[in-house]
Structure 1
Amino acid sequence: MHNGNIDHQTAATTGGVPGNREVEVQAEPEAQQPRNVSDLFVQCLVNEGVEVIFGIPGEENIPLMEAIKRDGRIKFVLTRHEQGAGFMAATYAHETGKPGVCLSTLGPGALNLVLPVAQANASTTPLVAICAQGNVNRLYKESHQIVDLVSVFRPITQWAAMVLDAAAVPEMIRKAFSVAQRKRPGASCLVLPEDISQLAAPVQAEPLPLPRPVHTIPAPDTIVEAANLIGAAKHPVILAGNGVARSHAEQQLKEITELLNVPVATTFEGKGVFSDKHPNALGVVGFMKHDYENFAFDTADLILAVGFSIQQFDPIKINPNNDKVIIHINTFTEDTDAHYPASLNIRADIKNTLVALEAELRKRTISFEPSHPQIRGLLQREYESCKADMSFPMKPQRVVYDTRRAVQGDWPVLVDTGALKMWMARLYPTYEPSTCVIDNSLSTMGWSLPGAVGASLSAPGVPILAVMGDGSFMMNLQEIETAVRYGCRIVILVWIDNAYGLIKWKMDMHTKDHEFVDFNNPDFLDLAASFGAKGHEITSADELYPVLRSALRSGSGVDLIACPVDYRENMKLISKLGDIDFAS
């Protein structure tokens, strides 16, 4: 019943003229937009468990971005460079175990993804890259921003393809994620042309059901053969790579080494799969010169390689004379290398293989005498050698020591490529997998700052430490803005030497001189402030530990710590390693 009052909506409908008979007009229901290929694409991504995409949109993927917004279940993280997006996605994948997803537009945007996609593929990290493309009717000719992206990405992925049929979307997305997570994980790339993305989706097209996980088991005869080879050895050593973490087989590795009393060395990328607190831990192999751990391989007659791939370092470092029996355990057969002639390849789930091998070994009486305790002693002495050293710029040994003191046991530390990688890999004690993350397959510079953003978004509230040289820091520093904007909790520790330190080190080793490697740096305090981050400049050796500890425990925001380092220790280390002779 009309009560004489006219609300604003009714007045607008009737012209708002008092005394006129009120006519109720119901608003037309908003027509539901027909589902297009982009909507189907997003549905399939959600079905695969995608929760976040890192990237930069462009004109050609506006339909896909609109579909992401309409669906509302995927968080889109806007980055400042596509390279940063790829590194964020790869580190997100490394920390969660789920494929990371990055997105770009066509042409130049897609080409900026090449480096992180190649890095993920090399380090067996599951990653799916989504690239836009121009309309299909101009792909056959020279056209603005058109690049044959499938041909670009095919050599650096497990699979790359372009969507040309709307009905193929569910299968192609299922394949992209399946390939990224197969027995040798890696990257895949899907290219979506703009006109295809706007086509009507077939009514019957729906996301495919996810397959049940498949965990392969080793053939029983190969387990018996492995046990026979181990039983015939006199000085075996275990080499553990990043595949152990990927398969969550750390406990099984620990049980086998304790059963046999066999020493364990890890690759740089395998740091943490075997705790450095364990008495059988040898540290890492992969340094550019004959390091302490290499002496264990010099005297070994059998190498049990678990989760190792030769991309992590050149096998000539551990088998220069081709005189070792090698048992290779991984989810994939290793590539050919003259210094890695596996006597036995066991291609199966790593955890299942170690469980079966331990059961077989327990049927026998096999144990070895403790070996190479001097290696642990040398490492510990070097780690503690500069803990009270007050010289400044700081010695690398003290920077590593104070960093380990400041970092709580399981907080992730991402170590970039450069001279600092050598010091951190060798000396930073690591007790859990994925708590000291190093890229030593492609050895990419500049990944750890954006990587810290990806790691932070995978574990909100957990402080993430990115350790970088000043050369690598300047390559992706723009992502500090991304970190601040998304409320990430990260600390960036920059080792300052005003040079590309690792190249300088190698030049000094080569000719005792160097050239073309020195540069200048910005004011780090002003730089941090300009991004809304907190800046800290270390001016004496006793400042780093309290500043780093406080930054990691502050509970919010982004901290940038600039710490001058004295790399004259680099050549002193080379000289010291050259003088070691365990035989004397």
Structure 2
Amino acid sequence: MKASELFVQALESEGVAYIFGVPGEENLDFLNALRGSSIRLILTRHEQGAGFMAATYGRLTGRVGVCLATLGPGATNLVTAAAYAQLGAMPMLMITGQKPIKTNKQGEFQIIDVVDMMTPLTKYTRQISSAHNIPARVREAFRRAQLERPGATHLELPEDTAREDTDAQVIRKSDFDIPQATEHAIDRALAMIQSARRPLLLLGAGANRHHSCIALEQLVKKTGMPFFSTQMGKGVVDERHPLFLGTAALSSDDFLHRAIEAADLIINVGHDVVEKPPFIMGNEAPEEGPLEAVAQARDAQVIHVNYVTAAVDAVYYPQQGVIGDIANSVERLTQRLEPQPHWDFSWFMQVKDRLDQQLLAGAEDDRFPIYPQRLVHSLRQLMPDDGIVALDNGVYKIWFARNYRAYQPNTVLLDNALASMGAGLPSAMAAKMVCPERNVVAVCGDGGFMMNSQELETAVRLKLDLTVLVLRDNGYGMIKWKQSNLGFEDFGLDFGNPDFVRYAGSYGAQGHRPESADDFERILQHCLAEPGVHLIDVPVDYSENEQILHQDIKAQSRAMVDSKKKETGT
């Protein structure tokens, strides 16, 4: 058989269902081999969209998402998606083509060293120079992509290698067990938790897996320990839970940070320093601007519960690690842990009550263009418990992370690791393919949406039932906010937009433009109930972001602390 056919057989052996991509002439042997395969090719309009879809497929399923591009510019268009998957711990394999490596007659045309380019962005990257190597290279790429910590891998299949004849055989995948934490580590962590006075549980992205979620729910139930989440840890435990304090959406001075600062032990389950930190360790605050300042954990001890050891950082150096399968570690702690009479969660619960009250502010605001608090509230009210919201990156992400309660795991897909714009629509498309029976909504700013808006055609062609919210403020709102916050003049960040309703219609999607906040709710309800691809052009007013998120909340949370000190005389 041809090497390209062997490659496809190896992918089938790994259980690949989809390949997302934009093929080129260097992929034609591989493309022909796909014709008779069980694998479905999802042709996208840009390689970056294909990469985002493959990464999200990996994030949601735990299996390796696969994407395809040609050499040169096709491969370079995968770079952002590679970093997205690598930093976000999403298992993904990229396959790229290349000119013949033995008898190329086209000089250096389109040739760059793709393997070298991918080296700092992946866990494993190889050029396949012989058909005989295909089975081992494919098996190793999949193994590395799924091995903790998951991430991106890459294989380059040159034209002449793809045409070779071979009698090599596929290497069947083998199961491997994730190592378990040592008994000594469990004993140490148990002693720290039992002796703490105000232990606080943190849930991060690494805990957002089925068995870990169940184990953590049982831990909270047995111990009565309050918990909070990072942005990528939303939904690990139902956020309607009476012990859920909130999400670390702001960097500092939210009500939640008053709880973090009071904790004497933080049990960090699944968070690592790749995601923007929810707190810093130590007493010295970093010399950074107000938007970058991060809440201090002061002298709190930290237990790092994760699949891999903590990377020591200036702001994160946990005193104890519990390294191994997270679900197993949490189950073992739960079995031996009993609520302690000296635990005092009263302040945490006061913080929760105050935060819950503040989150109601603006939820029923009728002003239009719509205010983000009303937008988030309306979507939460209309989405079913298992509905999936896929967020692009922009200022609205803070409002969703803070105000939108996730009821189930992986129902709020946001990226707080690479935090790339342009991922919202492709991520939502992949989510709909993985979960076709569930409502899926992409939430994009007008800036991020236009970076991959061409994938609307792909969504229509695939006959996906999908709702896309384009939050329009006619500028790069997050950067404008920071520009203002740092005292700079408003400059260089405004742009024009197409008529989004007509733009959606040109792709065969249905466009909608609400004229009031109530009208938005009516249209959204219609779109969630009707088949097809729907785009809602939603003008948004972010004018109160600075006042609410950086001034009012800070003043109110600090006043709460001052009142407590006055009351207790401390």
**2:68 aligns to what?**
103
Amino acid at match of 2:541: D
Task: Name which of 367, 382, 392 aligns with 2:368.
Answer: 392
Residue by residue over 1:517-542, the C-alpha shift from the partner in whole angstroms, topping out at 9 and shown as x without a partner, is 11111111110110100001011111
Does structure 1 residue 174 correspond to structure 2 residue 139?
A: yes
Residue by residue over 1:307-345, the C-alpha shift from the partner in whole angstroms, topping out at 9 and shown as x without a partner, is 111111136546555522111011111212122111111
Cα distance in 2 for partners of 1:241, 1:515 equals 36
Counterparts of 1:186-265 in structure 2 under 5 Å? 186-201=151-166, 203=167, 205-246=168-209, 248-265=211-228
Structure 2 residue matching 1:248: 3-state secondary structure: helix
**2:359 aligns to what?**
383
Moved more, 562-571 or 504-513: 504-513
**2:566 aligns to what?**
none
**1:119 aligns to what?**
84
Moved more, 330-339 or 384-393: 384-393
Task: Name which of 376, 394, 410 aligns with 1:418.
Answer: 394
Q: Give, in angstroms, the shift of residue 258 of structure 1.
A: 2.8
Counterparts of 1:54-65 in structure 2 under 5 Å? 54-65=20-31
Structure 2 residue matching 1:305: 3-state secondary structure: strand
Task: Name which of 344, 349, 359 aligns with 2:320.
Answer: 344
2:199 touches 2:343 (CA, 8 Å); kept in 1? no
Residue by residue over 1:156-209, the C-alpha shift from the partner in whole angstroms, topping out at 9 and shown as x without a partner, is 1111111112111111100000000001000100111110010001x2x22112
Cα distance in 1 for partners of 2:495, 2:351 equals 37
1:315 touches 1:340 (CA, 8 Å); kept in 2? no
Cα distance in 1 for partners of 2:63, 2:345 equals 41
Aligned length: 546
Give the TM-score, by structure 2 length. Answer: 0.93
**2:404 aligns to what?**
428
* Structure 1 pair 391–286 and aligned structure 2 pair: CA distance change class (3 A): closer
1:320 touches 1:339 (CA, 8 Å); kept in 2? no
Amino acid at match of 1:563: V
Q: Give, in angstroms, the shift of residue 458 of structure 1.
A: 1.5
Does structure 1 residue 312 correspond to structure 2 residue 275?
A: yes
Does structure 1 residue 288 correspond to structure 2 residue 251?
A: yes
Task: Name which of 308, 311, 317 aligns with 1:332.
Answer: 308
Task: Name which of 440, 443, 466 aligns with 2:419.
Answer: 443
Q: Give, in angstroms, the shift of residue 247 of structure 1.
A: 5.9
Structure 1 residue matching 2:161: 3-state secondary structure: helix
Cα distance in 1 for partners of 2:65, 2:8 equals 15
Cα distance in 2 for partners of 1:382, 1:394 equals 19
Structure 1 residue matching 2:216: 3-state secondary structure: helix
**1:571 aligns to what?**
546
Cα distance in 2 for partners of 1:356, 1:97 equals 24
**1:7 aligns to what?**
none
Cα distance in 2 for partners of 1:52, 1:516 equals 41
Does structure 1 residue 90 correspond to structure 2 residue 55?
A: yes
Structure 1 residue matching 2:95: 3-state secondary structure: strand
Counterparts of 1:61-72 in structure 2 under 5 Å? 61-70=27-36, 72=37
2:391 touches 2:414 (CA, 8 Å); kept in 1? yes
Amino acid at match of 2:4: S
Structure 2 residue matching 1:559: 3-state secondary structure: strand
Q: Give, in angstroms, the shift of residue 256 of structure 1.
A: 1.7
Q: Give, in angstroms, the shift of residue 275 of structure 1.
A: 1.5
Q: Give, in angstroms, the shift of residue 246 of structure 1.
A: 3.2
Amino acid at match of 1:559: H
Amino acid at match of 1:278: H
Structure 2 residue matching 1:249: 3-state secondary structure: helix
Cα distance in 1 for partners of 2:255, 2:227 equals 13
Cα distance in 2 for partners of 1:43, 1:224 equals 47
Cα distance in 1 for partners of 2:49, 2:401 equals 23
**1:269 aligns to what?**
232
* Structure 1 pair 353–562 and aligned structure 2 pair: CA distance change class (3 A): same
Q: Give, in angstroms, the shift of residue 286 of structure 1.
A: 4.3
Amino acid at match of 1:214: D
Does structure 1 residue 478 correspond to structure 2 residue 454?
A: yes
**1:49 aligns to what?**
15
Cα distance in 1 for partners of 2:59, 2:104 equals 35
Amino acid at match of 1:89: A
Cα distance in 2 for partners of 1:371, 1:254 equals 22
Structure 1 residue matching 2:311: 3-state secondary structure: coil
Moved more, 265-274 or 372-381: 372-381
Cα distance in 1 for partners of 2:255, 2:29 equals 56
Cα distance in 2 for partners of 1:232, 1:174 equals 46
Structure 2 residue matching 1:446: 3-state secondary structure: coil
Structure 1 residue matching 2:111: 3-state secondary structure: coil
Structure 2 residue matching 1:397: 3-state secondary structure: helix
Residue by residue over 1:271-324, the C-alpha shift from the partner in whole angstroms, topping out at 9 and shown as x without a partner, is 100221111111111423422211111111111000111111136546555522
Residue by residue over 1:467-523, the C-alpha shift from the partner in whole angstroms, topping out at 9 and shown as x without a partner, is 011111111000000000011111001111111111111112111643211111111
Q: Give, in angstroms, the shift of residue 387 of structure 1.
A: 3.0
* Structure 1 pair 284–142 and aligned structure 2 pair: CA distance change class (3 A): farther
| Runs of 5+ unmatched residues, structure 2 | 285-297, 563-570
* Structure 1 pair 270–347 and aligned structure 2 pair: CA distance change class (3 A): same
Cα distance in 1 for partners of 2:342, 2:197 equals 10
Cα distance in 1 for partners of 2:200, 2:184 equals 22
Cα distance in 2 for partners of 1:349, 1:332 equals 9
Residue by residue over 1:540-573, the C-alpha shift from the partner in whole angstroms, topping out at 9 and shown as x without a partner, is 111111111110111x210000111110121111
Cα distance in 2 for partners of 1:140, 1:426 equals 57
Counterparts of 1:2-17 in structure 2 under 5 Å? none
2:471 touches 2:540 (CA, 8 Å); kept in 1? yes
| Runs of 5+ unmatched residues, structure 1 | 1-34
Does structure 1 residue 299 correspond to structure 2 residue 277?
A: no
**2:511 aligns to what?**
535
2:238 touches 2:407 (CA, 8 Å); kept in 1? yes
Task: Name which of 487, 494, 498 aligns with 1:511.
Answer: 487
1:239 touches 1:305 (CA, 8 Å); kept in 2? yes
Moved more, 246-255 or 346-355: 246-255
Does structure 1 residue 148 correspond to structure 2 residue 80?
A: no
